[in-house]
Amino acid sequence: MLKSINLKALPSVTKAKNVRDYLIEVKFNDGTIKIIDFEPWITGPIFRPLNSKANFKRFFIDGPTIAWPNGADIAPETLYEAEAVEISSESKLRRAG
């Protein structure tokens, strides 16, 4: 017997904008909005070109997630589960929660 999958329950990125450096504000299909620090993921051969902030800022929404022209992407579930960061008025980062 096949299980039915509730596609609406799967996270999907609906909007994304660069905040600064490697921080992207991401909005998901359930209305959740969070600022995510992508810098920890910028490792390995596929992500190496994204060490350049200019290349990193070339991200776009591809299907349910964020991707880059070189083929790099991060699973939307990973983004949804990522710890959000807050930007204080003094422009310092701190982990939310």
The rounded distance, in Å, linking the Cα atoms of 3 and 62 is 26
- Is residue 15 predicted with pLDDT exceeding 60? yes
When pLDDT is averaged across residues 72-88 and rounded to a whole number, the result is: 94
pLDDT of residue 93: 58
What domains can be seen in the chain, in order of their start residue?
10-95 (3.30.2020.10)
Question: Count of residues for the chain?
Answer: 97
Q: Which of 46, 88, 85 is nearest to 67 (CA)?
A: 46
Q: How confident is the model at residue 6 (pLDDT cuts 50, 70, 90)?
A: low
Indicate the pTM of the whole model. 0.83
Q: What band does 29 get if pLDDT is binned at 50, 70 and 90? A: very high
Please give the Cα distance from 55 to 57 (Å, whole number): 5
Mean of the per-residue pLDDT values for the chain?
89
